[in-house]
Amino acid sequence: MLKNLWTEVKKSKTIYITLISIVLVFLLPILFNLFHLGRSNRIIFLFFIINVVFSGFIGWFAKRYSLSFYNLVIFPVLFVVSVFAKYGRYGYFLAGIYLVISILIYFLFDD
Report the percent of the chain where pLDDT is more than 70.
88
pTM for the structure as a whole: 0.85
> Which pLDDT belongs to residue 50?
93
Mean model confidence pLDDT for the chain: 86
28-66 in b/e burial notation, b at 16+ Cβ within 10 A?
A: ebeebeeeeeeeeebbeebbeeebeebbbbbbebbbeee
Confidence of residue 59 (pLDDT cuts 50, 70, 90): very high
Domain count, the chain: 1
Q: Is residue 6 part of a domain?
A: no
Distance CA 69, CA 104 (A): 12
**Contact between 101 and 73 (Cβ < 8 Å):** no
Residue 22 has pLDDT above 70, yes or no: yes
Segment 76-93, tens digit of pLDDT: 999 998 888 777 677 788
The Cα–Cα gap between 25 and 81 comes to: 9
Q: Residue 27: which domain range?
A: 16-108
**Contact present, 9 and 67 (Cβ < 8 Å):** no
pLDDT in tens, 29-52: 888 888 888 878 878 888 899 999
Q: Is residue 78 part of a domain?
A: yes
